[in-house]
Amino acid sequence: MDVFAALVAAAAALLACAYLAAGLARRAKLRRLIDKLPGPRALPLVGTTHHILGTPRNKLLNKIKELGQQYGPIFRMWLGSSPEVILTKSTHFEEIINSTKHVEKSDFYKFLHPWLGTGLVTSSGQKWHSHRKMITPAFHLSILDSFIEVFADNCAILVDKLARRAGGSGFDIFPYITRCTLDIICETAMGVPIFAQEDTDSEYGRMVNDVIELTVYRRDRLWLHPDFIFYNTPAGRRYKKSLGITKGFTKKVIQERKDALSGAVKPSHESSDEDRSFGLRKKKAFLDLLLEVSGKEGKLSDEEIREEVDTFMFAGHDTTATSTAWVLFMLGHHPEIQEKVYAEQAEIFQDSKRSPTMKDLHEMKYFDRVIKETLRVYPTVPFIQRILGEDVRIDGYDIPRGTSVTMSIFLTNLDPESFPNPEQYDPDNFLPERVLGRHHFAFIPFSAGPRNCIGQKFAQLEEKTLLSYILRNFKVLSLDSREDVHPIPEIVLRPEHGIKVCLTSRT
């Protein structure tokens, strides 16, 4: 018996040694392949993180630009013992973005799981496939058309708020735009107006912003990555409280909408004639469409519906507000371009104060080029990250399965081969004849391939409506230089201290 036990122990030890040896061999092969790529010198334990973590947030994009110029178009970093491969050339993106093998998001997105679970932004595999197919019809143009009234009503409130600041010495316009987009996203996603523009201290609005800010705060501090440490800090406790309120609000609305669809109860948020004077309406929200699609094509649990609604809230709130603010900032520096935009608006609306229609928004061709050029200079999402699902070979380098790959939209947008004079702000970069000769991944503000942004049409229509209302009513002058407004790459590319402008009424 003792001999048998000794043999079993010896076999187990040999297997453990073989497993360890195989792991070390895989690790050695990974390091050998990754270190063939150019990149800064790695230090023991920390890798190359000192290049990034030692850089102030407001200098981070400049640092990444320096690294890209020194080591690009493809180079590697070591985040501790984990490799990160950075691609800066549109031709290199194709291998990753077009493949269904590389749809898994990077480790950063795990910090969004407590809020978004495994909704469209954070999920992968079969769940992502089935949910994407199920949700796509909710973004049909005919449904988006019904949202334009919501856009317009909230933009009219925004104009009224801005009119009170026009003619003064200047102010930060970013919070005003953010509250407007929050009102829009709440009403279109859940069918529930929260009146963030009227109540600037709206609890739900504060909690959503808290969750987003604390997610970034945690991401940027390696010592807060373990749950046990994070949730026992003041920031972690605040995050947990904000998250509970945010998710609780969504769950409550879902239950009310379900009860209403079943005919059991009239929801407290359902509109009556009296309600309409306060901005409520009987439009179908994204949540209603989700509930209908779920019933027809496969049951979604309440938690899965909550994940997708909160995902829509997350993806459609800060992104549109930030992009809109950057457009105003650039137009405030280029009055000649701003006047061309206004001339196009005047031609479409003929001095009418009416709300835009879908047809109006599609006719804003020059405005479309202005928005795209701003997204080139200030991409709302400056990086796309993926985990490789299989080995790939790019530009002569073999990159192993499981490696995290960052596609730098920010650096690609500055490629002189695609955009001559890339530092110059020029909406004519997007004239049809210029776009025709450009690589199809040279400009991908909403990503591309199977994992492109499902809500991009929604975002484009909302942003055009917002900007149309503002520019038809005001002239915009930017008060800070481009050198003084530092873009911060958080979840989106936010201005560090907002966007300070002076508005002059056009009437």
pLDDT of residue 50: 79
Distance of alpha carbon 384 from alpha carbon 410, whole angstroms: 10
- In contact, 40 and 53? CB cutoff 8 Å: no
Which tokens go with 60?
């981070």
CA trace torsion 50, 53, 54, 58 (10° rounding):
140
pLDDT of residue 270: 45
**For the chain, counts of helices (H) and of strands (E):** 20, 12
Whole-model pTM over 0.85: yes
- In contact, 332 and 501? CB cutoff 8 Å: yes
Distance of alpha carbon 407 from alpha carbon 444, whole angstroms: 11
| Spans in the chain with pLDDT lower than 70 | 1, 3-27, 263-283, 297-298
Q: Is 80 helix (H, G, I), strand (E, B) or coil?
A: coil
Q: What angle is formed at CA 218 by the lines to CA 314 and CA 248, rounded to 5 degrees? A: 45
pLDDT of residue 371: 97
Reported as a single tens digit per residue, the pLDDT across 363-391 is 999 999 999 999 999 999 999 999 998 99
DSSP one-letter string for 387-419: E-SS-EEETTEEE-TT-EEEEEHHHHTT-TTTS
- In contact, 214 and 235? CB cutoff 8 Å: yes
End-to-end CA distance of the chain: 98
Distance of alpha carbon 234 from alpha carbon 249, whole angstroms: 23
Reported as a single tens digit per residue, the pLDDT across 241-281 is 999 999 999 999 998 888 877 765 554 444 444 333 333 44
Reported as a single tens digit per residue, the pLDDT across 217-236 is 888 788 898 999 999 999 99
pLDDT of residue 476: 97
pLDDT of residue 349: 94
Distance of alpha carbon 174 from alpha carbon 321, whole angstroms: 7
- In contact, 349 and 367? CB cutoff 8 Å: no
pLDDT of residue 25: 58
Q: Is 265 helix (H, G, I), strand (E, B) or coil?
A: coil
pLDDT of residue 202: 77
Which tokens go with 319?
């992104």
Q: 125: burial class by Cβ within 10 Å (0-12, 13-18, 19+)?
A: exposed
- In contact, 134 and 297? CB cutoff 8 Å: yes
